[in-house]
Amino acid sequence: MSEEFKVVSESEEDTRMIAKKIARLFHPGDIIILDGDLGAGKTYFVKGFTENFNSYDLVSSPTFSIANFYRTEVCEILHIDLYRISSIDEFNDLVLYDYFGQSISLIEWGKKFADLFEDYFLISFEINDNNIRTLTFTSQGDKFNSTMDKIKTLFKGGELC
């Protein structure tokens, strides 16, 4: 893992705005893993992310469907929730690999399968006091080095700019 960068979110709306700001830095083929406890803001993040691309579809948690596709003006976004997937065989049975190259993939609870991906961007959500969240950005592989630099510029000092 490369260096970390943290941003504080004081509300669900902040989380959506953070996602909306960084969404433009990602492209089809990018894997973004969202890690954090239940209720930490992962799905709100996806809502903001898809808003940036003017999604035609309503964002909902794919906890039971496992995967949702959102059509946008720019590209397709694949939203996966691996909470109920416990083995590599179950993950492989989803047959989603073909979609990773043609969409931006946001994977909730994906950290347990992160070794399957050569390059990925990890966003960890931590709930602090007074329902404030800290979003920690890290990347695996060199693919996202410039993305991390751009995120640091967007959020100077970890604050919403």
pLDDT of residue 9: 94
| Distance from C-alpha of 99 to C-alpha of 22, rounded to nearest angstrom | 21
With beta carbons less than 8 A apart as the criterion, state whether 133 and 6 touch: no
Quote the pTM value.
0.91
CATH 3.40.50.300 at 5-156, yes or no: yes
| Distance from C-alpha of 53 to C-alpha of 134, rounded to nearest angstrom | 24
| Distance from C-alpha of 54 to C-alpha of 86, rounded to nearest angstrom | 33
pLDDT tens digits, one per residue of 139-161: 998 899 899 999 999 998 555 54
pLDDT tens digits, one per residue of 10-48: 999 999 999 999 999 999 999 999 999 888 889 999 999
Q: In this structure, what token pair is assigned to residue 2? A: 């490369």
Where do the structural domains in the chain lie, given as residue ranges? 5-156
Res 1 pLDDT > 60: no
AA letter at 11: S
| Distance from C-alpha of 141 to C-alpha of 117, rounded to nearest angstrom | 9
For residues 27-53, b (16+ Cβ closer than 10 Å) or e, as one string?
Answer: ebebbbbbbbeeebbbbbbbbbbbbbb
Work out the angle between the directed axes of helices 12-23 and 145-154 (0-180°, nearest 10): 130
pLDDT tens digits, one per residue of 102-119: 999 999 999 999 999 999
pLDDT of residue 2: 66
Residue 87: Cβ-neighbour burial (10 angstroms; 0-12, 13-18, 19+)? exposed
